[in-house]
C-alpha cells in the first residue's frame, strides 16, 4: 500500500482547517442550518483541492449534498452528553465521551456519505436520489420509534433523542451504499465518521482540561473546532484514497446546478440569519458591550447582514444561470474558487456581527477564524493531493474503531484525575 504523499497530508489538514473553522463558527448559530453551512464549506474545500476538472461541474451539487448531510446531524442534542464528560468518575465520563463518538460519527458519516455519492454519481452507475431520500427517511423513522419509543433506549434523558433519527438515516445510507457497491462514497462516509466521532470526544477532553486549568479561552470553541478538523480531515482522506469515475461532460440542469446552488447560498444563509439575528438574543450582547441605543444598532446589523448574504447569492445564481443558458457542459475552477471564498467569508462576517466582535476584541477566537481563512485561501492553489484507489476494508475499519474506543478510555482516565467537580457536570448513572 502506497504511503500518503506530503501534499496529500497537507491537503487533509487544510480541509480539516476549513471544516474546523466553519464548525467553530457554527457554534454561534447551532441547529441544522449552522451545521449545513459548515458542511458546505468543508465540501467545497475538497473540490478545490482535488484539482479535478470534472468535479468543478458537480462541485455545487456535491457541496450542497455535504451541507445537507452534515446539517442533518444538527437535530441531535449533545449539551447533556458534554456534561457527562465533565464528571469525576470513570463510568459517567467514559459514557459521555463514547456518546460523543457516536454523535460526531453520525455527523461525519451522513455528511461524508452524501458528499461521496455525488462524486460517485456517473451515467454508467447512476445514484437513484429519490430512492436514497426515501430510504433515509424511512430508516430514520423506523429506528427512532422502535429503539427510542418502543424499547426506551435513551442517550440523553430528558433531552431530545433525535440521535435515533440520525442513526436510522445513517444505517439506511450505509445499506444503500453497500447494496449498490458505491465503495468510494462508503470510504468517505466511514473516515468522515471516524474522524468526526474521535474529534468530538477528543474535543470534549480538551475542553475539560482547559476549563480545569482555567485557560482564558473559549474552550467550547476548541471542542467544536476539534470535531470539524478531524471530521474534515477524515472526509478528505476517504476522498483522496478512493477510486472515482471520470465524466468529461455533464449537461447543466436545474437539478444539478441551480437548485443546489439556491439551497447552498440562499436558503441556508437565510435560515441562519432568520434564526440567529433576533433582537432578544442580540440585546444582552450589545448591553454587555455598553452600546448606546442598542436597539437601533441591532436593527442596523440585522439589515446589513441580510444584504451581506443576499446580494452575493443573487450574483452567484445569475452567474451560474448564465452558464446553464449558454449550453455549457463544464464549469471552470475560478467560479467555484470565488464561490468558496465568498461563502466562507460571509460565514465569518456573520459570526463577527452576531457576537459584537466588530465593536470589541473580547472574543479573540473570532479573529482566529480570519487567520485560518487566510492560511486556507493561500494554501488551496499550492497543493494537489495524489489520489490512490484503495479497497474497502471492514476489518481494518473495525480495528480503527476499537483503537479509538481504547484511546477514549485512556483520555477518560486522564480527565478524571485532573479536576474535581466542575460547573455543568452531569451524571447519567448514579
Rounded Cα distance between 193 and 103, Å, is 9
Buried residues in 366-404 as b, exposed as e (16+ CB within 10 A): bebbeebbeebbebbeebebebeebeeeeeebeeebeeb
Q: What is the pLDDT of residues 51-71, one digit of tens each?
A: 999 999 999 999 999 999 999
Return the domain boundaries, the chain: 6-127+182-249+363-416
pTM beyond cutoff 0.85 = yes
Looking at 105-119, 183-197, 387-401, 414-428, which range is the least confident one? 414-428
Contact 194, 400 (CB under 8 A): yes
204-261 pLDDT per residue, tens: 999 999 988 888 899 999 999 999 999 999 999 999 999 998 877 777 888 889 999 9
Burial (Cβ within 10 Å: 0-12, 13-18, ≥19) of residue 307:
exposed
The stretches of 51-179 forming alpha helices (DSSP H) are: 53-72, 79-84, 90-120, 129-143, 163-179
Measured on CA atoms in the order 390, 257, 331, 35, is the torsion positive or negative?
Answer: negative
Looking at residue 341, what is its pLDDT? 98
Amino acid at each position: 500500500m502506497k504511503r500518503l504523499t506530503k501534499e496529500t497530508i497537507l491537503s487533509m489538514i487544510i480541509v480539516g482547517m476549513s471544516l474546523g473553522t466553519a464548525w467553530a463558527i457554527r457554534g454561534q448559530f447551532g441547529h441544522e442550518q449552522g451545521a449545513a453551512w459548515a458542511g458546505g464549506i468543508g465540501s467545497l474545500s475538497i473540490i478545490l483541492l482535488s484539482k479535478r476538472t470534472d468535479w468543478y461541474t458537480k462541485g455545487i451539487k456535491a457541496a450542497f449534498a455535504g451541507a445537507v448531510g452534515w446539517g442533518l446531524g444538527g437535530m441531535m442534542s449533545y449539551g447533556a452528553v458534554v456534561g457527562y464528560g465533565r464528571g469525576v468518575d470513570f463510568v459517567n465520563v467514559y459514557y459521555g465521551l463514547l456518546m460523543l463518538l457516536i454523535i460526531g460519527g453520525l455527523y461525519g458519516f451522513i455528511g461524508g456519505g452524501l458528499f461521496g455519492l455525488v462524486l460517485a454519481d456517473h451515467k454508467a452507475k447512476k445514484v437513484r436520489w429519490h430512492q436514497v431520500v426515501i430510504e433515509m427517511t424511512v430508516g430514520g423513522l423506523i429506528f427512532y420509534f422502535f429503539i427510542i419509543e418502543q424499547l426506551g433506549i435513551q442517550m440523553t434523558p430528558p433531552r431530545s433523542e433525535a440521535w435515533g433519527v440520525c442513526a436510522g438515516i445513517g444505517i439506511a445510507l450505509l445499506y444503500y451504499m453497500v447494496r449498490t457497491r458505491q465503495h468510494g462514497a462508503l470510504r468517505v462516509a466511514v473516515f468522515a465518521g471516524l474522524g468526526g466521532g474521535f474529534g468530538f470526544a477528543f474535543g470534549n477532553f480538551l475542553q475539560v482540561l482547559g476549563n480545569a486549568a482555567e485557560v482564558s479561552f473559549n474552550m467550547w470553541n476548541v471542542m467544536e473546532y476539534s470535531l470539524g478538523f478531524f471530521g474534515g480531515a477524515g472526509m478528505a482522506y476517504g476522498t483522496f484514497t478512493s477510486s472515482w469515475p471520470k465524466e468529461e461532460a455533464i449537461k447543466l440542469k436545474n437539478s444539478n446546478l441551480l437548485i443546489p446552488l439556491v439551497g447552498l447560498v440562499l436558503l441556508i444563509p437565510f435560515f441562519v440569519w432568520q434564526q440567529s439575528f433576533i433582537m432578544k438574543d442580540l440585546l444582552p450582547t450589545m448591553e454587555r458591550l455598553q452600546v448606546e441605543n442598542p436597539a437601533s444598532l441591532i436593527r442596523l446589523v440585522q439589515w446589513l447582514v441580510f444584504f451581506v448574504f443576499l446580494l452575493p447569492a443573487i450574483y452567484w445564481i445569475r452567474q451560474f444561470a448564465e452558464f446553464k443558458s449558454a449550453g455549457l457542459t463544464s464549469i471552470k475552477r475560478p467560479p467555484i474558487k470565488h464561490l468558496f471564498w465568498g461563502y466562507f467569508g460571509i460565514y465569518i462576517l456573520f459570526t463577527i456581527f452576531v457576537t459584537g466582535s466588530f465593536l470589541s476584541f473580547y472574543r479573540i477566537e473570532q479573529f482566529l477564524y480570519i487567520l485560518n481563512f487566510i492560511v486556507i485561501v493561500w494554501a488551496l492553489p499550492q497543493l494537489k493531493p495524489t489520489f490512490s484507489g484503495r479497497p474497502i476494508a471492514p476489518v481494518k475499519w473495525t480495528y480503527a474503531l476499537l483503537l479509538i474506543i481504547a484511546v477514549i478510555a485512556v483520555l477518560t482516565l486522564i480527565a478524571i484525575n485532573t479536576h474535581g467537580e466542575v460547573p455543568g457536570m452531569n451524571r447519567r448513572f448514579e
